[in-house]
């Protein structure tokens, strides 16, 4: 049913693999639950070929956005395009251009991985001669489980099978919605090496994750959403350099009633009488200058620690929650 629509996909090289403009979604009130604005005028542009990270705390609207792209949730207003095709006006073509690995591990327990991929390929109208079932199974490390019932597969294997399922129609855009939640480190590495290979071969990847280190390592562009709104949307390095911030914490040899005047220019915070904390911009201030000021104030440093800013700090600064907070409602 999708084959006739695949030609326009192959013939097109859009600048943006995914583009949303002022995309909004309000879930209607249900019983006692009031209506909920899940997306509020979200505009995103995901360049073709990029490895794009969509970050946000629980309830931010990540899955809603992905489900609109996949044609599973009906938007309230605004527009969304996949590979240049409008998700409403060109629904079928847009759907054929995207493969989605859902957040939930839903699999029919009585199908084997091989059967599942064949059924999925059939749904997308991939002719038998063009199916890549064995190649995909091998790529996700499930060759020896090809004939096992899905219910006998471990969580990590199920996750990889869902990735395989999303790839049967060779979509130019692959979306992974928190794919490594609950997946052990080794399998995570295996999954990432496969996804990186796909990206290197030209597939655009859209990933949502709670693991900030993961986004930092894999993604070249990052958007952060919070409570349905985009709070950051830029190149990863630009985002990281925006946070020109480090923290120095020192333990001094005696109790202080207040931070000495010599240190005022560094705006220290005094805790427990003996611990002074300085937030500074490494591009402007060297830690030695702070230590010299401590010396000038006749304070001996007994211990010190420094902390680098990372994506987590940016995240906290922009959303005021930790990424694993439950911020629903």
Selected binder of ligand ADP within 5, 50, 64, 209 (CB under 6 A): 64
Q: Which is nearer to Mg ion, 61 or 84 (CB)?
A: 61
Q: Which of residues 279-308 bind Mg ion (CB under 5 A)?
A: none
In whole angstroms, give the CA distance from residue 202 to residue 51. 10
**Contact map string, positions 39 to 78, toward Mg ion, x by CB under 5 A:** -----------------------xx---------------
Q: Which is nearer to ligand ADP, 36 or 242 (CB)?
A: 36
**Dihedral sign (CA 93, 207, 109, 74):** negative
In whole angstroms, give the CA distance from residue 246 to residue 309. 6
Q: Which is nearer to Mg ion, 58 or 79 (CB)?
A: 58
**Dihedral sign (CA 273, 316, 181, 199):** negative
If residue 305 lies in a helix (H) or strand (E), which one and from where to where? strand 301-308
Which residue in the shown chain puts its C-beta closest to Mg ion?
A: 63
Q: Which of residues 28-47 bind ligand ADP (CB under 6 A)?
A: 36, 38
Q: Which is nearer to Mg ion, 62 or 81 (CB)?
A: 62
CB atoms within 10 A of CB 12: 14
Binding span for ligand ADP by CB under 6 A among 12-20, 55-63, 189-197, 257-265 = 55-63
Q: Which is nearer to ligand ADP, 121 or 225 (CB)?
A: 225
Closest approach, Cβ 248 to Mg ion, in A, equals 37
Q: Under rule CB under 5 A, how many of the chain's residues touch Mg ion?
A: 3
Cα angle for residues 44, 46, 47 (degrees, 5° grid): 140
Does residue 317 belong to the site contacting ligand ADP (CB under 6 A)?
A: no
Minimal CA–CA distance to 221: which of 206, 231, 209?
206
Selected binder of ligand ADP within 59, 84, 171, 172 (CB under 6 A): 59
Q: Which is nearer to ligand ADP, 54 or 96 (CB)?
A: 54
Contact 192, 141 (CB under 8 A): no
Does residue 207 belong to the site contacting ligand ADP (CB under 6 A)?
A: no
When CB distances are held under 5 to 8 angstroms depending on the partner's kind, the choice from Mg ion, ligand ADP, none that residue 36 binds is ligand ADP
Contact 205, 51 (CB under 8 A): yes
Q: Under rule CB under 6 A, how many of the chain's residues touch ligand ADP?
A: 12
Q: Which is nearer to Mg ion, 55 or 263 (CB)?
A: 55
In whole angstroms, give the CA distance from residue 118 to residue 122. 6
Contacts of residues 2-8 at CB distance under 8 Å and 24 or more positions apart, as own/partner, are: 2/92, 2/95, 2/96, 2/124, 2/125, 2/169, 3/124, 3/125, 3/126, 3/127, 4/125, 5/92, 5/93, 5/96, 6/96, 6/125, 6/169, 8/85, 8/93
Selected binder of ligand ADP within 63, 93, 199, 209 (CB under 6 A): 63
Q: Which phi and psi (to 5°) does residue 83 adopt?
A: 55, 30
Contact 133, 73 (CB under 8 A): no
Closest approach, Cβ 66 to Mg ion, in A, equals 8
When CB distances are held under 5 to 8 angstroms depending on the partner's kind, the choice from Mg ion, ligand ADP, none that residue 64 binds is ligand ADP
Binding span for ligand ADP by CB under 6 A among 57-65, 194-202, 239-247, 262-270 = 57-65
Residues found near ligand ADP in the complex (CB under 6 A): 27, 36, 38, 56, 58-64, 328
Residues found near Mg ion in the complex (CB under 5 A): 62-63, 103
């Amino acid at each position: 049913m999708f084959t006739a629509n695949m030609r326009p996909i192959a013939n097109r090289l859009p600048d943006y693999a995914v583009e949303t403009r002022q995309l909004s979604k309000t879930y209607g009130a249900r019983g006692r639950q009031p209506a909920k604005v899940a997306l509020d005028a979200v505009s995103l542009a995901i360049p073709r070929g990029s490895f794009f990270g969509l970050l946000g705390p629980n309830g931010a609207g990540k899955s809603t956005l992905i489900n609109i792209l996949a044609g599973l949730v009906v938007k309230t207003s605004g527009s969304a395009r996949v590979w240049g095709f409008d998700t409403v006006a060109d629904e079928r073509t847009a759907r054929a251009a995207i493969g989605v690995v859902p957040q939930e591990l839903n699999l029919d327990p009585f199908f084997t991985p091989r059967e599942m991929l064949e059924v999925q390929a059939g749904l997308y109208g991939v002719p038998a001669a063009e199916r890549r079932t064995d190649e995909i199974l091998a790529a996700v490390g499930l060759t020896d489980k090809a004939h096992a019932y899905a219910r006998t597969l471990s969580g990590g294997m199920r996750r990889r099978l869902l990735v395989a399922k999303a790839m049967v129609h060779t979509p130019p855009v692959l979306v992974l919605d928190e794919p490594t939640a609950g997946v052990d480190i080794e399998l995570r590495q295996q999954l990432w090496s496969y996804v990186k290979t796909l990206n290197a071969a030209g597939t655009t990847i859209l990933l949502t994750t709670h693991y900030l280190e993961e986004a930092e390592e894999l993604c070249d562009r990052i958007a952060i959403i919070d409570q349905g709104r985009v709070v950051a949307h830029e190149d990863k390095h630009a985002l990281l350099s925006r946070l020109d911030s480090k923290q120095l914490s020192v333990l001094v040899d005696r109790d202080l009633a207040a931070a000495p005047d010599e240190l005022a220019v560094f705006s220290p915070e005094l805790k427990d009488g003996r611990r002074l904390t300085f937030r500074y911009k490494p591009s402007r201030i060297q830690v030695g200058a702070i230590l010299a000021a401590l010396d000038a104030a006749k304070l001996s440093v007994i211990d010190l620690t420094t902390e680098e800013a990372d994506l987590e700090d940016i995240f906290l600064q922009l959303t005021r929650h930790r990424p694993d907070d439950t911020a629903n409602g």
